[in-house]
Amino acid sequence: MNFMQKLEQAWSSSDSLLCVGLDPNWQKIPDHLKTLPEPVFEFCKAIVDATHDLVCAFKPQIAYFAGMQAEDQLEKTLNYIRETYPHIPIILDSKRGDIGATAEMYAAEAFDRFKVDAVTVNPYMGQDSAQPFLDRADKGVVILCRTSNPGAGDIQDLEVDGEPIYQRVATMVNRHWNSNHNCCIVVGATWPEQMATLRELTGDMPFLVPGVGAQGGDVESLVKAGRTADGRGLIINSSRAIIYAGDDENFAIAARRVALETRDLINQHRQ
């Protein structure tokens, strides 16, 4: 299956639009894991095992692993998900964006080295910087559009011919970059009004939605603004609120509890 088919299947099998972000932070990993040979992997494995039936995707953020020189534990985590839960899509959050041979190497990093199903990409340098990713027709390309951070408007709200840049990006991706039907866009949960506009501009294109949980995005507003006619179309990510719900030996149980609550809250507003 390609990424879009795998995502559709995951939406159905888990009855969930929830994506759990894997952002391992050494200061927050429970102390009892830190004496183990591979504490980052053990932490991520426990979170994955505790939440696998509640999610439509997992989203590891590469910076958390790279910052601890733990790329080998990232690879082990990815291998574990693929082998144990092969039906769950993996989105590598690396926000790559460069040109020429460098972009090709970033695509190889995501899809050949890490073997993920999709990757986040920054569109700032234009279509040629995204093309090596877009050419992988079986893989997902998740393009930054309207991000969830407070400073998003510094650039994304600037107008080009009377249209905000984030809308121009969405239209450009929908009309010109999505020839392989493998594109998604990132739309922050903190901007439900903009999300509704982007849904009108992009049809049924999936949205990766960060900003739920620790960043304060309102679930009801974002689901009603971004859902497609069939109650899908969203990959709603929560990272810190779930994976750090507990800080002791029962951290995975706490993570599952919050993931279940979040999934069920999302589902209340899908129809």
Give yes or no for a contact between 152 and 181, defined as CB atoms under 8 angstroms apart.
no
The confidence score (pLDDT) of residue 217 equals 63
- For residue 224, which phi and psi values (nearest 5 degrees)? -65, -30
Query: Can you read off the two tokens belonging to residue 12?
Result: 């159905």
Q: What share of the chain is helix, strand, coil (3-state, %, to 5)?
A: 50, 15, 35
Both structure tokens of 10: 């995951």
Active site residues: 95
Distance of CA 227 to the CA centre of its chain: 16
Give mean pLDDT, residues 171-199: 95
pLDDT in tens, 163-174: 999 999 999 999
- pLDDT-derived band at 211 (thresholds 50, 70, 90) equals confident
The predicted model scores a pTM of 0.96
Look at the block and give the residue holding tokens 């970033």.
Answer: 106
Please state, in angstroms and rounded to a whole number, the distance separating the CA atoms of residues 79 and 178. Answer: 28
Domain boundaries, the chain: 3-268
Superfamily of domain 3-268: Aldolase class I (3.20.20.70)
Average pLDDT on 149-164 reads 93
* Residue 183 pLDDT > 90: yes
Type of residue numbered 243: I
**Residue 190, both tokens:** 């903190």
Question: In the sheet where 234-238 sits, what is the strand order?
Answer: 57-60, 18-22, 234-238, 207-209, 183-187, 140-146, 118-121, 91-96
Identify the pLDDT of residue 218.
85
